[in-house]
A and B are shown apart, each in its own frame.
Chain A
Amino acid sequence: MTGGSTFSFRSRVDRDMTSLWPQIEPILARVAKPARYIGCEDGAVTEGPIEGRVSWLLIYPDAYEVGLPNQGLQILYEILNERPGARAERTYSPWIDMEAQMRRRGLPLFSVDSHRPAGDFDVLAFNLSAELVYTNLLNCVDLAGVPVRSARRGPEHPLVVAGGHCTFNPEPLADFVDAFVIGDGEEVVGEVSAAIESWKAGGRTEGSRQRLLRDLATIPGVYVPSCYEVTYDGPAIAAVTPLYPDTPERVEKRTIADLGAWPYPRRQLVPMTEVVHDRLNVELFRGCTRGCRFCQAGMITRPVRERPAEQVLQMASDGLARTGYDEVSLTSLSSADYSGIDSTVRGIIDDPACRGQVSVSLPSLRVDAFTVGVASQIQKVRRTGLTFAPEAGTWRMRQVINKLIREEDLYGAVESAFSQGWRRVKLYFLTGLPTETDEDTLGIAELARNCVAVGRRHQKGVSVTASVGGFVPKPQTPFQWFGQATAEELQHRIALLRDATRRDRGVQLRWHDPKASLAEGIASRGDRRVGAVIEEVWRRGGVFQEWSEHFSLDLWTEAMARHGLSLEWYVHRDRDRDEVLPWAHISAGLHDDFLWQEWEDALAAAGTPDCRWTPCYDCGACTGYGLEHVVASNVAPAGGSQGTGQDLSTGAEVPVFLRPKAGAGVAGE
């Protein structure tokens, strides 16, 4: 960039953002599901000034019907739009037919709220919930008219930022994303917006973009890849070093201490066309103490922070009245673990405003009879199917992954379901787990068969679906050192299960494509060198890789080969303890010692109990940030082993912080 360009972009920044609707409308008759592009959701913000404010375009890089319900994006949309100096709009990946029309006519990516061009916003902010959408991120940046590589962007281009669970290993996208936000976004989004406000006020002069990025890198929880240098020792990483004295060596995630202080979304978006999870959502708590070793979400969102029950009831009641929905989902990583889940569910159903027409759903059922009892209260009608996730077929395997569910817990849950009128039970399993043997795999078929037998004591024609996914090890978990099973091994395990269930009329087997697990493995634990692979897959047309009809493993493996990167190195080998992992400079608050100890315990098939009901083992999430688990009850609820594999019927008190009752004024111990 020369100094001469400064003048031209300033006029661009100051110009009125205008709607592209007149150009978009004529092509809507030529594409499938045109309602994906119109916005018009109840709760959308389309009015009010945008000039002079920091304008954010929040992007979920997948199809509208998948992205619209994302609660993280909706929370930030509201928080930003409440901020006096900011304005947020949204967009999603245009489907392939729409993209073809847009490119043919030279139409850029646009917001669905007011149909303004993406390139006119100050910030393009991506939500990254799955690795296979990475190529869609590149495509959106390109469709916005912005260079896909950060290094080629000038002061006239929007800032490209990203948040979401995948950013706990940001390195594969380090060359394309200017800044990542690690952890809860509620607080930090305002700090980032304030920094951009200053950038704008300063006129976005030549060189100011680099200054802004350095400033952003000093905000806790913000990672700016260009402020770090990665050096290599052959295929291994030698070191990741900050380039500036004020850049932190390690970026710690952001965590909001009190979920009750953030009752969002207050105005959940109601889409006008069909989307997944088309219902009201109320988040019960964030974080999980179960300690399942495969689960990235459970590891990176600690500690547990429960929303006060009165607030849950209020959000459900207000939300149902405002939206007209007849279903509310109480979301979290393990909703049955919410203190007083029973009375909360009852409170919603008994709310006179609901008039008996509202159903409540718990997206993640715990595997025990108590949970089914709760479910039976809330599904008086439409008792079609219930889903449980035992994750592995043998007790040994479940100790390895630390999903401490006893067989009795599962059979109790299934017995309870079939005896109370449910007809179908779906069981989720992982295969390709550390130390998994053929016997462990076949345990999946055995469990499913036994569940059918339990069900037949109550009903004829019961059906049990075993849904099997290939395990992809994730960063910031005890399994981050594990060499992922090859596609061939996964195929072998699926073949074993197909043979074992072929003659069982009651058992249906479903499985995830092992090829997609391999591509996900490349992106999950890749380093900066994998960025070139992602770019090449995108350049060769590999978008919507989450969609089986568009997924192509060949694009990924050919790009890996072309860039001299080994699948064995990146995906299939066990890592050593002293290896510098690509995400070592990003912290989810977990001590390295804790993660390594968990990995060794896994290999020894030794479980670690849920720290909600047993003493703290100092994973780092609470102590490191001076936080506590925030729960309303320190007495284990009735029923089952609570995932600890132990008998907890004594109801002993446990060392947790108790949320004070409203009006009580004094915190518990």
Chain B
Amino acid sequence: MSDRVRLRIRFAKVGKIRWTSHRDVARMWERAFRRVELPLAYSEGFSPRPKVSFGLALPTGHESVAEFLDVELRGLAGVDLDRLADRLSAALPVGVDATAVSVLEPGTPSLQEDVTSCSWRWTAAPADGEEPVGEAEMRARVAGVMAAPTLEVTRSRKGTQVTEDVRPGILALEVVGDSLDGVVLEAELAAAPRAVRPAEVLSALGPGLEERHVRRTSQWIQRHGAPQEPLLAARDDATEAPHAMERAS
């Protein structure tokens, strides 16, 4: 239908609610959309579902201030875009907040197709019974990782051990400070062709480390040869909701 329209929504997932899964978050959004009476477009067929598509799954337990979803509406009649993010945040659980909404230009590629990398921030804590790694030592290890031509990581996938080189997916990695729990790291990690996880970077930095306080801080897509945030890339008059984050503690 011609008056159908897609919205892209940026949202945060922080606090206790981060222990819910990607599927759980999808159900929260479906309920929130119905609570604010958004005119959702439904799929055809035996079991009609709202047309909502999420970007990269966020691993259970990780926080994010840069999650995105696209939702298709039957139209924009009666929808106040300026207030939508705040109304959605009020209908979502504490810790999940809509922070910006934008109307997508027709033909905008999906998040899955478009996002090329993510920025992460996390703490490298010592695992149970292990000695902490100091900041200077961690800087040296980070330098080693960035200087290495390849970094093989072995993981089990459907019961078989698979060895892969994650080095090309580590686009940036640095130590940004120390904390009570351990050294704080920031990284930009590729989302495609293979998504690299902070845990894999951590295992490349040595044994005995455990990730804590993992937070996705940005997602990036490429436009005209430069990285851009998915929502700003979609349209430049995106509606920011500066107060939405206050509910999340």
Contacts and interface: CB of A to CB of B under 8 A. Distances in A.
A620 B93 CA distance: 48
Contacts of A381: 46-48
Interface in B1-49: 16-17, 19-21, 23-24, 27-28, 30-35, 42, 46-48
Nearest to B210: A29
B100 to A, nearest CB: 22
Interface stretch (A143-151, A322-330, A334-342): A322-330
A382 B24 contact: no
Contact of A35 (B19, B30, B94): B19
B182 interface: no
B230 interface: no
Given A40-B94, A381-B46, A273 B34 contact: no
B34 A34 contact: no
A499 interface: no
A321 interface: yes
Given A28-B61, A39-B16, A324-B31, A273 B21 contact: yes
A19 to B, nearest CB: 11
Nearest to A278: B27
A422 to B, nearest CB: 12
Contacts of A38: 16-17, 19-20
Given A28-B61, A29-B61, A323-B31, A34 B19 contact: yes
B47 A382 contact: yes
Contacts of B33: 324
B112 interface: no
A274 B61 contact: no
A323 B31 CA distance: 7
Nearest to A383: B46
A272 interface: yes
Interface string B117-142: 00000000000000000000000000
A357 interface: yes
B198 interface: no
Contact of A272 (B20, B35, B61): B20
A270 B96 CA distance: 15
B46 A272 contact: no
Contacts of A39: 16
* Residue of B60, B91, B95 with highest tally of chain A CB at under 10 A: B60
A40 B91 contact: no
Contacts of A323: 31, 35
Interface in B71-97: 91, 93-95
A273 B24 contact: yes
Interface in A29-55: 29, 34-35, 37-40, 42
Given A40-B94, A42-B93, A381-B47, A274 B19 contact: no
Range of interface residues on chain B? 20 to 34
B43 to A, nearest CB: 11
Given A40-B94, A381-B47, A382-B46, A35 B24 contact: yes
A325 B31 contact: yes
Contacts of B91: 324
A483 to B, nearest CB: 47
Given A35-B20, A382-B46, A40 B93 contact: yes
B35 A40 contact: no
Contacts of B95: 40
A274 B60 CA distance: 14
B72 to A, nearest CB: 15
Nearest to B96: A272
A40 B34 contact: no
Contacts of A40: 16-17, 20, 93-95
Contact of B23 (A21, A34, A274, A325): A274
A272 B17 contact: yes
B148 to A, nearest CB: 27
Contact of A34 (B28, B35, B61, B94): B61
Contacts of A28: 19, 61
A272 B28 contact: yes
Contacts of B24: 35, 272-274
Interface string B44-77: 0011100000000000110000000000000000
Contact of B60 (A34, A37, A322, A326): A34
Contacts of B34: 324-326, 357
A280 B238 CA distance: 35
A207 B61 CA distance: 47
A98 to B, nearest CB: 12
Contacts of B93: 40, 42, 272
Contacts of B17: 38, 40, 272
Interface string A258-278: 000000000000101110001
B31 A273 contact: no
Contacts of B20: 35, 38, 40, 272-273
Contacts of A274: 23-24, 27
Contacts of A325: 31, 34
Given A34-B19, A37-B19, A324-B32, 11 more contacts: A34-B61, A38-B19, A40-B16, A40-B20, A40-B93, A40-B94, A42-B93, A272-B28, A273-B24, A324-B91, A357-B34
Interface of A: 21, 26, 28-29, 34-35, 37-40, 42, 270, 272-274, 278, 321-326, 357, 381-382
